[in-house]
Structure 1
Amino acid sequence: MKKKKLLLTTALVGTMAFGATIPTSLAHDALGSDVNKGEERIVFSNEDLKTLESSLLKGRKNVGNFYEAAAVQIQELEGVQNNTADVYAHNGYAYLGTHTANGGNGGVRVFDLKDPSNPVEIAVFAHDVPYTWQEKVIVKSVNTPHFKGDLAAVSVQQTSRNNSSRPDSVGGVLLYDVTDPTDPQKLGFYQLDRRITGTHELYLTTQGNRALVLASSPYADYYTHGENEDFQIIDVSDPSNPEKLWGSDPRELEEISEKFNGYHWDAPDGHTRPVFNHSVITDNNGQYAYVSMWDLGTVIFDIQDPENPVYLGRTEYRDDQKGAAHSAALARGGNILIETREVSNPVGDGYEDAYGYTRILDIKDKTNPVLLSEFTTELTYDIPETSQGRTTFAKTVHDPKVHGNTLYLSYYSGGVIMVDITNPNNPTEIGRYTPESANVWGVFVDRNYVLASDMGQGLKVLARGNKVVNNGKGR
């Protein structure tokens, strides 16, 4: 079924069918639902946070001595209280992206974590493109012929795509010098066609003295009739002049028809499945890219030559299983793939009844990923009998991170769930952190602490230590 070692090209399809109507079979994860998603519950102020019950934190094994060291909301920006999206940490600073609450344009917030029990917001940047939101930020130390220092790559999405009354709104990738995190400096902007909502997620990696951004821009192929790709590799070695190197065309795969319209895939199992690029990561050396292509699975490329990537393989699904490959993480030196599937509509004709859950795969042979196990929780099958309130992001898994043999999952209303993957054939929950009214979007694992970004409550810091925790609760 798969083409092994297939070299993809950037050939574009000039004319193709472009269906504007979403088939009813795609009621799950329909076009556009991913972009402005997540039940945006109340956005709490710092004063509001004081009224919440202490967060439930329980664990055993290596997560048994975690405690909530801090919980702090991001500051208002020009009188507006934004909400948070993903979180990243670099050299003792946390970087929080922001979502769409109260109009968006919240930028990236920088917190000094020298004292993890007292995070201090010290800067905001990447909020200069009007009517946009900044979900994802990656920061790396970079040394190229054009730039040496800490580089931040930020995803930018329009809050209203291609809106004629907002001609200055556009999506893409912003690049900032954050060598001095208190004074971020804008370097460049990789700007997308306004027909594309923008770049939703991205990854920043290096290859020697070269810096690359791998960008995920959902529905770019569909919205531009194949003129642009959902997944692009961009050379940012000179951050003031980002340059596209390559874009992925799914039609080069054996199982994708040349008539593919960029979203609706007539899969071999008889389902019409949604296909778009949601996110991407690489291994630590920037040799392989793991591209989350929703119902096409996690698609693996050899990117050692980033102008000419080589397709290796992809993950696949049972006929009754919605794909929804949302995000990925690696374990065991890159031989184990963690795939989170974000399914917010748990029912569908011909599919199992379940919210999104996690899959663990052996990828020693990257041309042939092998499913080892699946990890579910009590939320996975907690489905109302009636349709009212059934579709919800609150009960699906979101993002994965791995530290050693522990998998950390952001889980919306479930908070952060910690899983022992010492035996990847038998993942076992060993800890859970669930703030009251939790809506946890992102998680990031550092050697000394775990960070969580709650959409309504801001930054949470979990630290290791011997703090006394009463009845499993503590702050």
Structure 2
Amino acid sequence: MKVGNRTLTLSAAAVLGAALAAPHALSAQLIDGVVERGSRNMEVLGHIPLGPRLSIADMDIEQEMHRPYAYVARMQYGPVGPKGLDIVSIEDPENPEVLYEWRIEDQDLHQRTGGMDVKHFKWGDRYYVVQSLQFGQGGPDSDMGAVVLDVTGLPDASTVREVARIKEPDLPGGFHNIFIYKHSNMNVYLVATVSGPYAAVYDLGALVDGRGDQMVAQIPVPDQGMEGNRRRGYHDFYLGYHPETGTDRFYGGGTGGYYIYDVSDLQDPQLLTQIVGVSGIRSGHTFTPTPDGNFAIAETEYQYAPLRIFDLRPGLNGEVSAINRPIAAWTANWKNLVHNHEVRWPLVFVSGYLDGLVVFNMMDPENPMTVGHYDTYLGPPNVDRTPVFNGTFGVDIRNADGLIVVSDMTTGLWTFRMEGFQGWNGDDWGVPNISSAQDWDNGPAGAAGRITTDQQQGD
């Protein structure tokens, strides 16, 4: 297994290509009396502090240029921090502005974290945001997993309204992570981490139309001989369309490793392959495939762990019963931990906790190479919790123009541009136009350029 942490720079002329300059350090440095916090190809556009230390969690941005909004989850750490959601205008990326704050009522009575993950969606001609929530027993709403807000009227904050709360009385503890997916059946589904041995699926169209808010499907964690493990479950996941086979696929990280299902029929998910028995991995975390579904980037949440890159084809093609060895790994700094990531082939945009925003190129999946970085947090490691858990938490990319937005657990929301990266469409790279960004109007087949004649005619 090769471990990559070499650094390249980009030029606009040779966008994201081979090595063009000598490596330079990823951490902030004092050079000629000036703190150099990032690579020269990374431009900071804007920054807005949002609140106390460790009160900022994941984030999400809308993809349509006429809706320049970022959604930032807000959490409490210890006695400090709000529990809820901030809506930030990035219409002027150099001057982000908070438009609206949603907070759970009776803040002091609600226990534990509060807001963690956040995603938006469109249904019909209206736009919504889903904020995942986690409240502990001993206070109200320990069974509440998410709140849904109608944000169609933005930037007029007075039009934002709460339309639903999703609760699971039999699964207390809330939703740690969520993903929203426009399925090839043209329904929009919320997939959520719950305190059970599966990912829970909800029909968001039915919910906002008032047709029901019940769980409609479950995607199981294979037992791997762990039936007696009460903590068995998923931590994080991604759903994406696979144009080659015309199927919807689920990529989940959880107890034992990582699992890939065909979820074209959500009532009958079919396990396609699994990544288990990997040295150093007892439980999977963030798990994201490349647009063609051939490779995947996998995180596991402990200090010193790199992102591992797996070739999925031997498992998907039936050559092996399970994949148990990565083909490569990448990290920003081996002493720390890299976290969430977004794939825009051949680039992977990483929120690296203490290492900030870091970008690597995996054009050659066996030789990932760093191409840009910026440190959003210059403070010391934590002394009152796991040291590496501070700094950059969430990252998202606007495909239309290449705007990069990250949330930092302590310093707030940041906007960036990277030299040579002016937007992303898979067609430009000879891969399916598939990413975490959803085509709300045409569905995943439309995003991949495979709309059928019937779909085009609206049948």
TM-score by length of 2: 0.70
Task: Give the Cα–Cα distance (whole angstroms) in 1 for the partners of residues 418 and 142 of structure 2.
Answer: 43
Asked if the contact 1:412–1:439 (Cα under 8 Å) also holds between the matched residues in 2, the reply is yes
Aligned to 1:133: 114
Match in the other structure for 1:242: 213
Aligned counterpart for 1:116 among listed residues 93, 97, 106: 93
Output the CA distance in 2 between the equivalents of 1:424 and 1:327: 18
Correspondence 1:83 to 2:55: yes
Tell me how far apart the structure 1 counterparts of residues 362 and 160 of structure 2 sit (CA, whole Å): 38
Equivalent position of 1:68 in the other structure = 44
Cα deviation code 1:313-335 (max 9, x no counterpart): 211243x4233311022214322
Equivalences for 1:159-170 in 2 at 5 Å? 161-163=136-138, 166-170=139-143
1:311 aligns with 2:271: yes
Asked if 1:400 corresponds to 2:375, the answer is no
Instruction: Return the letter of the residue paired with 1:114.
Output: E
The separation in 2 between residues aligned to 1:129 and 1:150, in whole angstroms, is: 27
Change (3 A) 1:336 1:195: closer
Alpha-carbon contact 1:171-1:194 (below 8 Å) kept: no
By how many angstroms is 1:300 displaced? 1.1
Task: Please give the alpha-carbon distance, in whole angstroms, between the structure 2 residues aligned to 1:278 and 1:303.
Answer: 18
Distance in 2, matches of 1:374 and 1:133, equals 36
* Pairing of 1:409-424 with structure 2 (within 5 A): 409-424=350-365
> What is residue 307 of structure 2 aligned with on the other side?
358
Secondary structure in 2 matching 1:88: strand
| SS state at 1:333 partner | coil
1:56-109 Cα offsets, whole Å, 9 max, x none, are 1105xxxx2x211112112x6xxx887210111103211111122345443111
Query: 2 CA distance for matches of 1:55 and 1:204?
Result: 37
1:58 aligns to what SS in structure 2?
coil
Instruction: Give the superposition deviation at 1:418.
Output: 1.0
Contact 1:298 1:314 (C-alpha < 8 Å) held by counterparts = yes
Q: 1:308 to 1:107 in 2, by over 3 A?
A: same
Displacement of 1:463 after TM fit? 2.1
Q: Deviations along 1:99-146, whole A, 9 cap, x unmatched? A: 223454431111111110001110122634752511111112223xxx
1:349-398 deviations in Å (ceiling 9; x for gaps):
xxxxxx22111122245365755533243632x3xxxxxxxxxxxx1121
Aligned equivalents of 1:175, 1:140: Cα separation in 2: 10
Deviations 1:2-30 (A, max 9, x none): xxxxxxxxxxxxxxxxxxxxxxxxxxxxx
Contact 1:415 1:433 in 2 (8 A): yes
Q: Given that residues 88 and 94 in structure 1 are in contact (C-alpha distance below 8 angstroms), is that contact kept between their aligned partners in structure 2? A: yes
Q: Percent identity?
A: 18
Whether contact under 8 Å (1:175, 1:239) holds in the other structure is no
1:151 to 114, 125, 128: 128
Task: Provide the residue aligned with 2:429 in structure 1.
Answer: none
Contact 1:126 1:154 in 2 (8 A): no
Q: Contact 1:419 / 1:431 at 8 angstroms: preserved in 2?
A: yes
Partner of 1:278 in structure 2?
A: 235
CA distance in structure 2 between the partners assigned to 1:396 and 1:89 by the alignment? 24
Secondary structure class of the residue paired with 1:326: coil
1:291 aligned residue (247, 252, 260)? 252
What residue is the counterpart of 1:171 in the other structure? 144
Runs (5+) with no aligned partner, structure 1: 1-52, 222-228, 264-274, 345-354, 383-394, 467-475
Contact 2:53 2:409 in 1 (8 A): no
Amino acid paired to 2:365: P
More displaced, 133-142 or 167-176?
Answer: 167-176
Among 63, 74, 94, the alignment partner of 1:98 is 74
Structure 2 CA distance, aligned partners of 1:362 and 1:81?
A: 38
Instruction: Return the offset for 1:239.
Output: 2.3
- Structure 1 residues 149, 82: CA separation in 2 closer, same or farther (over 3 Å shift)? farther
Give the alignment partner of residue 230 of structure 2, picking from 248, 255, 262: 262
Offset of 1:303 from its aligned partner?
A: 1.1
- CA distance change for structure 1 residues 465 and 418 in 2, over 3 Å: closer, same or farther? closer
SS of residue in 1 equivalent to 2:286: strand
In structure 2, the CA distance between the partners of 1:108 and 1:232, relative to structure 1 (3 Å rule), is same
Residue segments in structure 2 that go unaligned for 5+ positions in a row = 1-33, 380-389, 421-459
Query: Does the CA-based 8 Å contact 1:150-1:177 persist in structure 2?
Result: yes
SS at match of 2:292: helix
Give the Cα–Cα distance (whole angstroms) in 2 for the partners of residues 93 and 126 of structure 1. 18
CA distance 1:374–1:127, change in 2 (3 Å): farther
Per the normalisation by structure 1, the TM-score is: 0.67
Deviations 1:453-472 (A, max 9, x none): 11111101112469xxxxxx
Question: AA paired with 2:130?
Answer: A
Give, in whole Å, the separation in 1 of the partners of 2:80 and 2:164: 24
Number of aligned residue pairs: 349
Shift of 1:433: 1.0
Please give the alpha-carbon distance, in whole angstroms, between the structure 2 residues aligned to 1:187 and 1:142: 13
Is the partner of 1:261 in helix, strand or coil?
coil
